[in-house]
Every structure is written in C-alpha cells, then in structure tokens.
Structure 1
Amino acid sequence: MLEPGVWGQIPLFTIPRTLTNDTIRALSERPVSGWDNAKAVLDEIAAERGLSRGARYRTAALLRLALAVRAAEGTRLLPEVLLRDLPDGRNTIRLVLQRAGLLASAPQPLRLFRTGRPASPTRPATSRAARCRSPRSCADCQAWMPSGQYGSRCTPCQHWREKLARGACARCHRDGLPLRKGRYRGCRPYRLLDEARPTTSCYTQLLIDVPTGISGPLPPIPVDELPGPGLLSAPTHAAAGQEQLFVIQRDWTRLLPHLRGRNTAELVLTGTATRLLEDFKQVLHERRSPSRNTNIRTLNILAYWCGAETAIPERDIYDLARTGPDLKAKTVCQFLRDRGLLFQDPDLHRDGALTWIESTLAALPEPLGDEVEQWVEAIRSQGRHEVELHSYGDIRPYLTSLKPVLTEWAEAGVLSLREITRHHVETVVNAHSGRARRKLTVVLRSLFKVLKRARVVFRDPAQHLSVGNPKGIPKPVPSDLLTNALQQTKTPLGRLAIVLAAVHAVPRHELRTIMTRDLDLARGTLVIHRGLLRHTLYLEELTHRITVDWLDYRHRRWPASTNPHLLVSQRSALDPDHPPVGKTLLRSDVLRGLTLAGLRQDRILNEAVESADPLRLMRLFGIKEATAMHYVTVAHPERTARLPR
C-alpha cells in the first residue's frame, strides 16, 4: 500500500488513488520522508488557528498520508492535484505543505474537490475539453503526452502542421502528415541509420513527450561504429528498484569478441558488483566447486554489463553461457537467486517430460491428439474418475511406445480412435515381441479402457489382449559374479548401493530417494518411505559397517554438504537445490555384468527358494502379495497348478 517509488522517476501514467481511513490506519506506524519538517509547520498552524487536540491529531494523520503519496510518486514536491485524493482536510494540508516547501503548486488556482464528484448547481459538469486531458498518444508522432495537454497532437507536431506541407512519409508511408525532406517528425531521427543500413522495417522507438529537456528538433540516431579491438564500454546500469518498460532479449555475440583472450579482471566493476563477486568466490571456495573459474568469469561479465543493483533475467544468463564453453549458468543462477538478484523464467523450470508430451500431442492430427490428451489427463487423476496418480515422467515411456503406432494409424488415414478395430490392435501388437510387445499391450489396454470409461470411444478393441507376464521370470545371478563383488567395487557409494540391493532388495529408484534422517545407526534401522507407507530395514553387521564407512567418507569429502539425501555425488553434494544422485552414477559404480535390479531379484528369489512363504517375503522386503506369489511360483513351480513357460 503506497510503496515508496524511485526518487526522481517520472511516472508514465498518473492513476487516481482511493484513500480512506483504512489507508491512514495502515500508515500509522510507517516512517515517512519529510515528516519532521512538516510536523513543525503543522504545530505552528495549529497554534495560530487554535485547533483542538482531536483536530490536530486528524490533521497530522492526513499529513502523513499526503507525505506517503509524495514518496509513492517519487517526487520531491507533491503535485497539488494529488491532494484531491485525500479523504478531507485538503486545504489545511495544502497550507502546511506550501509553508514546508513540499508542494508543487498548480499553474492555475485549483479547487480541491475529489475526482469523480457528481455535478451540482454550485459545481458544473466536467467539460469535454477537461475530460480529454488524460494521458494519451499523439495522433502524428504517436508519442505519449502527459495529462494536462489539450488536443490530440503534441506541441511540436502542432507547430509542424502550421509550418510544413503534408504528404506521405517516405519511410513509414503514412499519408496526411507534415513532412520535412520526405519524412515526418517521428521518422526524421532515423535518416542516418537508414542511409547506413537500408532495411525494409519501419519501426520507431516509443517517445514520451514531457515538458523537460532541450528544445529544438529531435537529434538523429547515430550509427554504430564498427567494433574495434578495444573493449566495449558497459551501458548505464539501471537504478535499484527500477523496472523495465520492455523486456528485450540480449544478443551476447556482439560483446564476446571483445572479451576473447582478455582477463575478466580488467573489467571495471562498481563497488556493489565487486563485493558481490568476492562473496561468490568465497561461496565457490567453500563448496570446492570444480568449475570455479568458469563460474567466476560468467558472473564477472554479468556484473560488468548488467550491474549488481537490479535483478538479472535468468534467460540472459543461460543465453550467455551458451555462447562459449568457458561460461556456466546454473551455479551463477543459484547464487543470484539466494541474494534476490535473479528474475526467474518459468519456462526454464518446466518439466522436461511435460514439454515432450505436449510437443508429441501437437504433432498428431487434431481429433486423434485431443483423444490421447484426454487419456493423459485421466491417468494424471485429472479426469472424472479417480485413478492412481502417474507423473509426467511415468507417462513419457508409455507415450514413447505408443507414438509409432499413433503415427502409423494417422498416416493410414485414421482421424479418430473410434475407427480402430480389433484387427488394427492385433496387427500392431503382433509386429513386436518380448518386452516391447508386453509394454505396448499394457499401454493400448490402458488407452482404450480409460477412453471408453470417459465415453470417448464406443468399444474397447484391446479389452481381451493377452499381456503375458510383464515382469518376466526372475533369474538368479551367477555365483562367480557375486563372489568378491564388494571387494572389487572401488567406491564407498558403489559398495553401499550393492549391499542395499543384494541384501535388502531395495529398488534402484528408492536408493536415490533415501534420506539421511531415516537412518538410525544406534538402533540399526533404515526407514524407506513408499508413498504413505513405510518399510523398515534392520541392518545386519555388514550393512551397518559399510554404511558407517560411507558416512565417514561423505563427511571428509564434502564437509559443507547440506543435501538431505543419503547417497550424494560430486555434483549433488554441494548443490543448493539438493537433487538426488544420478541414475547413471549408480549404474557406473556397479561391476560389469551386474545390475542393481538383477541383484534385487536374486535376493528375493533366493529367499523364496529357502522359505517358500509369501508372507515372509512381504514382511522382509516390503513387496506386494502379487509380487511375492510370483517369486514363490518361480522358485517352486511344482506347488502351483500352472507351470511357467
């Protein structure tokens, strides 16, 4: 409410304010500029007029409100016309501000009625000429004119119309305008630029006609000189709190040729930018960042060109990093974000799987793409029926296997899934085999089942498709690969991942999400969260010892790490965003010939062979009853009525 503006900033528009007693109460505790001087004048006027204590208190509250409006306008002198927005006491406040030297008096005597007051016999209705005195653009040069000017043209254009002949402009081809050497007033400054670089575009810069500055015609826009060997001078940096009128993407390719082969320490920075750069160097030293020099060089260029007083657009930082291999963006963005100097771009933080899904659906014909989009929304629990929630990362593999089928049907002239028959489905399914066939069958059954429930299609052509066993038959790991697997693994991270998968059958995706707070070495337990459920692992001596070794190594390697995940890497340990460890790293730390999924299956299968009790498998590994029965069936086929193939 009435936030202080930038001092000296000329407002583009003047908007009437609605000031009430609630506004006065909200500003009662806020310090306002110029209050001490104005209060002394108020005390003198109150003594002269003999104001009561209540009247003096009310006038002081209105005076604070007027000073708050002055700070919001960012002007040293409050325009007299703004006193109309006060609830009451306008004449007294005008007298106080005049004596205090804080009021910009109107050129003509002004009656302080509030704007929008209805006409009365003592106050005639507002004339048409007065209603046209709001900010507007000039009909000729299209410059914005401030409030208070009469007519539809600015003063210079009125002078041109009186002195010069009218015709069609040679640059913008607008007719009926006063011309000087074939150009009207708005295109006149571009004569040197058009002669140096002829172009077909006729753009002009926005003009604001304010009664300040030098008199005379507008100076021509100079032509940029050819880049020389010297360093380009940095532009004038925006003041703190100054917002951009237009957001234009920077072209860093014009600056980088002047920086190639130069030391960025030669760039002259402001005091604020120098302190910011020193803080960044200290942060990189504490994190032991491997890309220290490239990150410092990036921030140095940004601080030199953009300054350190205002927020830097995130898009500009990534555009700068793409121009050379010696520039980085992510660490710089995190540092500026923590200090409130980053203007984040939502498009850079969108889910990559969602972007891929949207582009894939947009490439399909309109009826077919709309139907598949309804299926995506339904399995995202956004349809009429509540189903199990799937993330966009889970949906992308399904749509990946479905995309060639949809493309084939679209090329064959299919415009809607209502045209698909049982023959179409069996043809595309029989063209695949093994895991690909099972995956495609599952996706097709889900697609038509959801669309039939939503009444998009009339029948389900994939209703009785045989899926087979989507998990396949688990196979034991050869004993020669299991022998000395821990001793041959070189990293503590790899040994901990192997022991959790081979002893406790923890899936790979759960290894990446285990938190350090879920580990209790005193009790020897590790809690794994699976949605709303929890599964507790009881650590035996081997797992306990390897876990302690990993924690000791992590503390010595990254003492400043605040990542809450139990497993971290060089990149994720000191990342302020606290990401989980990458899948590729877990896969690379396992010996060749072994996989974490294979070790998990081998452990559950071995337990099923020994016990043949599905309840024991469910309690020990936290798996579902269908999975437990699947392993028992594979381990003891003679105890089931159906033998595996």
Structure 2
Amino acid sequence: MLQEPGHGLDLVGANKNGQQLFFANMSFHRRGAPALTPEQRAPWAHRMQNKLGDVASVADPGTQPLFEMPPDPAVLAARLRAENRELTRYCASIVRDHAIRFGWSKRQRNDVTRSLRMLEGLRSSPTAKIRATDVLQLRQYSGNVLSTIDVLAAAGLLIEDRPTALERYFTAKTSTLPRVMKDQLEIWVEVLTNGSLQPPRQSPRNPRTIRAHILGIEPIIHAWADAGLQSFAEVTRSDVTAALEKTTSRRHIAGNGLKSLFTILKGRRLIFANPTRGLKASPKSSTIPLALNAAVIRGEFNSPDPVVALAVALVAFHALTGKQICELRLTDTSDGHLTLGNRDIPLAAPVRTRLATWLNHRNQTWPDSVNPHLLINRRTAPRLVPVGNNYPWAGVTLRPRALREDRILHEIHATGGDVRRVCDLFGLSVEGATRYLNTIEHPHLADAGPQVPRT
C-alpha cells in the first residue's frame, strides 16, 4: 500500500504507525498477465458447486492455522441459533437417511444437527474439510461425536486423523526415550503395520502382535536408555543376552520382539550389525490354569443385568472367548443352537433362558436398532459396529479368559483327561488342550485334592 512505483518498499515507514502482518518480498506478480476468473483458476470447483448447489460441497483441506485458539462460547452459541447454515443444509439429507436406516431417535437426530452447527462455527473456512480430532472436541459442548463422524464420512467431508489404539499405546510407552531410539522404533512399527517390499520383506502384522512385541521389549529398551544408550546401533550381543536373562515372565515375547526390531533396523541400514542374529528362541512360559470360586461364578451368573448374565453363561457353559461374544450376530442363534464358524453348539437350558431375557431387553430398549450383532449398547445401537472387548465385563469381578479356563479345566477333569473330546467341544488344538491335561496329577497340585470347581 505504501510502495511507490519504481521505488523499493519502505519497511520503516510501513511499520511507523502499526505492525507489519506479512512477510516482505515473498510475492511476485507477473506484469501484463491477464487476470483469471474463478472458473479458470479452479474449473473443477466451479463444476462441483453448480452440480451440488452448495458451497459446503466444495470441500478442501483448508490451510493450517498459525496457532490454536479456543472458540468464544458466546459466539459459538450465537452461531448455533442460526438455522440455515451451509454445512447443516448439505448434510441434512444424509442425517435423514442415517436416522431412518439406523433407527435414530428424535433426540439423537437433533443432537447430530446441533453438532454440525457447532462444527460450522469451528471451521477455518466455509469449504474446509473437518478433522476427526476437531469433532472429538464437541464432547465439552455436549455434542454427539460418533454419529456426527459417520455423517461427515458419508458426506466426504471428514479427515480421519484420530490416532489408533496401537499408536496411542506406542506413544505412551516410548515418550521418554531418546530421540534417535524413538525414531528407529517408529520405523519398526511402521514396517510391521504396513508391511514392506524392501528386503527383508515383511507382511503386515496383526495389531495385537505388534502390541505384544512392544509390551515385551518396553522394559528392556527403557533399561538401555537409563544406562546411557542413545541409539540401537550401540546395543551389543552381550546387552541382549543380559537383558533376556533378567526377563522372566515375558522372555519369549521379548526375544521375538528384539529379533523383529533388529532385523528390520539392519535391513534399513540403521544399525551396523544385528545383535540377535543366530540367537536361539526362548522357550514359551506356560502357566497352570486354576479353578475359580464357584460362588463368585454363580453370583455373576444370576446377575440382574441381562447382558452380564448372558455373557457369563456363554463362557461358563460353552467356553466362548470375549472376542467371540462381541462378534456374535443375531443370525448365529437359531432353534436353541449356536453357530460358531464350523461348530454347531447346542445351547444349555440356562443359556437359552438368559438369551431370551436379553433379546426381550434389547427389543424394549432399542426397538428400531438394525445392528446385526447380538450384544449392543447405547453407543453401538444406532450403528453397525460390534461392542468393545470390555463390554460387559467392565463392572464384573470375573474375566472371560479366567472363566473360560475354569470351564475347560472342569471338563478335562470330568472326562478323565479325554483330550479329543475337549478339542471337539471347545475348538482347541492338541497343544492347547495339553496345557489343561497337565493339571491332572500335577506334582504341585497332588495334595490340593481334585481341581473340579463345581458339580
């Protein structure tokens, strides 16, 4: 504004009565170039706007903010009272379709609409896409998060930037490590997660396997960091051997994790030598399954909560895992039978009674839910996803794994050690059934009497 033709920009004069809010000499305009119309600059945006008839449909990622500033509650409340907002109008049909398809209540539908209005006020520009982490902030304003994310994803306006459970776990375990060590671990986890075609080739691993590797090596790498090591290139064969000798409970898991780590780092030429090369695998540590208190099982088995009673009954009678219970569908139960993969399980009478009680409770509580899974809750009823692994065990004194072991242990003692029957009944491998078979006449359990937990 103050630059004269043919003269340079007077920075001192420009800042005489104020503060410069731009970087000088960063822009260059070609003289004589014809000015482009908005249609010529972005023809795809113009066509899309004409097609959809709404500015919110032209969704671009937007620019990165210079700094984060919390919104003014008064301004946000004023924007919430505005009925005709671009984002709300654009997503109105999608909200209506989701409400009909998933059986949303009127309150939930209004909550999603209200959340979209709040997001309209939080957006950096009218055409910017919305990050999932920004939607998570709606909890402090009593907004609906999960259903709003589903609507934005269906509208193509969502940027999925939420960290996964594995990423959160990795960050929590490695936040205090040296920078070089953490960078090397990030490369290792990225290769395990996405796989690699670069030698050594690696297929993507299950997140539970990666979590087990991190769990096994976490105390070892923290001990190395406390000893002054800054990089895994400084680790020697003696360091690995000494660390594994001190590890007792998770030695097998730690050994596999260290082998995977150093093999990938050596393949990426981030270390000079692989200290685990030729190292023998540590033997697996086996625990002895023990019987549970029958009174505790009976108390949870007769729980007034129908979903708890059903889950405990399925594990106590048929030894289902917690994951299998979460993934059960309504079509898996028919005529008193449960179809689980290739297995056809006749349900016990107490299980059928509790199954009928739960289905009645489900139909009364969520009559319009179309979720195909057997177990649902308040969060999954208006969606199609299964419940979490901790449902409904969060407030229960029993764990599904311990209860499953108790059931199999009771069966192996009742049949006199019939491994074939146990394998067919519970879908176990011979190696898995042998763990329970070893409890019969175990030298440390011989004086404790029979291990049958109940009659």
Give the TM-score taking structure 1 as reference length.
Answer: 0.53
**1:64-102 Cα distance to aligned partner (Å, 9 max, x none):** xxxxxxxxxxxxxxxxxxxxxxxxxxxxxxxxxxxxxxx
**1:442-476 Cα distance to aligned partner (Å, 9 max, x none):** 2224423785698852555862645431xx11111
Q: How does 1:416-455 map to 2 (within 5 A)?
A: 416=232, 419-422=235-238, 424-427=240-243, 429-430=245-246, 437-448=248-259, 451=262
Select the residue among 344, 358, 374 that pairs with 1:566.
374
Is 1:405 matched up with 2:405? no
Amino acid of the structure 2 residue aligned with 1:623: L
Paired with 1:239 and 1:380, the residues of 2 have a C-alpha distance of 36
RMSD: 4.6
Corresponding residue pairs, total? 413
Is 1:583 matched up with 2:395? no
Which deviates more from structure 2 when the two are superposed, residues 198-207 or residues 444-453? 198-207
Q: Could you say if the C-alpha distance between residues 457 and 598 of structure 1 is closer, same or farther in structure 2, counting changes exceeding 3 Å?
A: same
Residue pair 1:380, 1:391 contacting (<8 A) in 2 also: no
Is 1:525 matched up with 2:337? yes
Q: Structure 1 regions of 5+ residues with no counterpart?
A: 1-140, 142-156, 172-181, 184-190, 214-236, 641-645
Paired with 2:181 and 2:151, the residues of 1 have a C-alpha distance of 46
Residue number in structure 2 paired with 1:325: 141
Paired with 1:274 and 1:371, the residues of 2 have a C-alpha distance of 46
**Percent same amino acid at aligned positions?**
16
How much has 1:544 moved relative to structure 2?
A: 2.4
**1:160-211 Cα distance to aligned partner (Å, 9 max, x none):** 64xxx5234316xxxxxxxxxx56xxxxxxx8xx845565855988989766
Residue pair 1:501, 1:599 contacting (<8 A) in 2 also: yes
Is 1:351 matched up with 2:164? yes
Residue pair 1:569, 1:581 contacting (<8 A) in 2 also: yes
Is 1:288 matched up with 2:105? yes
Paired with 1:324 and 1:605, the residues of 2 have a C-alpha distance of 48
Q: Could you say if the C-alpha distance between residues 636 and 449 of structure 1 is closer, same or farther in structure 2, counting changes exceeding 3 Å?
A: farther
**SS of corresponding position for 1:582:** coil
Residue pair 1:449, 1:463 contacting (<8 A) in 2 also: no
How much has 1:622 moved relative to structure 2?
A: 0.3
Residue number in structure 2 paired with 1:176: none
Paired with 1:512 and 1:206, the residues of 2 have a C-alpha distance of 60
Higher RCO by CA contacts (8 Å cutoff, separation 6 or greater): 2
**1:470-500 Cα distance to aligned partner (Å, 9 max, x none):** xx1111111222335422x122211111111
Amino acid of the structure 2 residue aligned with 1:525: H
Is 1:169 matched up with 2:6? no
Q: Could you say if the C-alpha distance between residues 385 and 513 of structure 1 is closer, same or farther in structure 2, counting changes exceeding 3 Å?
A: farther
**1:601-640 Cα distance to aligned partner (Å, 9 max, x none):** 11100111011111111100001111101101113437x9
Paired with 2:297 and 2:262, the residues of 1 have a C-alpha distance of 47
**SS of corresponding position for 2:55:** coil
Residue number in structure 2 paired with 1:25: none
Q: Could you say if the C-alpha distance between residues 491 and 355 of structure 1 is closer, same or farther in structure 2, counting changes exceeding 3 Å?
A: closer
Q: Structure 2 regions of 5+ residues with no counterpart?
A: 38-52, 268-272, 446-455
Structure of greater Rg: 1
Residue pair 1:313, 1:344 contacting (<8 A) in 2 also: yes
Paired with 1:634 and 1:450, the residues of 2 have a C-alpha distance of 36
**1:550-576 Cα distance to aligned partner (Å, 9 max, x none):** 22322222122222222111111112x
Paired with 1:448 and 1:273, the residues of 2 have a C-alpha distance of 53
Amino acid of the structure 1 residue aligned with 2:340: I
Residue pair 2:132, 2:158 contacting (<8 A) in 1 also: no
How much has 1:536 moved relative to structure 2?
A: 3.3
Q: Could you say if the C-alpha distance between residues 289 and 204 of structure 1 is closer, same or farther in structure 2, counting changes exceeding 3 Å?
A: farther
**SS of corresponding position for 2:345:** strand
Which deviates more from structure 2 when the two are superposed, residues 417-426 or residues 560-569? 417-426
Give the TM-score taking structure 2 as reference length.
Answer: 0.72
Paired with 2:347 and 2:149, the residues of 1 have a C-alpha distance of 41
Residue number in structure 1 paired with 2:353: 545
Paired with 2:124 and 2:370, the residues of 1 have a C-alpha distance of 30
Paired with 2:20 and 2:87, the residues of 1 have a C-alpha distance of 42
**1:534-554 Cα distance to aligned partner (Å, 9 max, x none):** 433222322223223322322
Q: Could you say if the C-alpha distance between residues 368 and 293 of structure 1 is closer, same or farther in structure 2, counting changes exceeding 3 Å?
A: closer
Q: How does 1:153-192 map to 2 (within 5 A)?
A: 161=5, 165-170=6-11
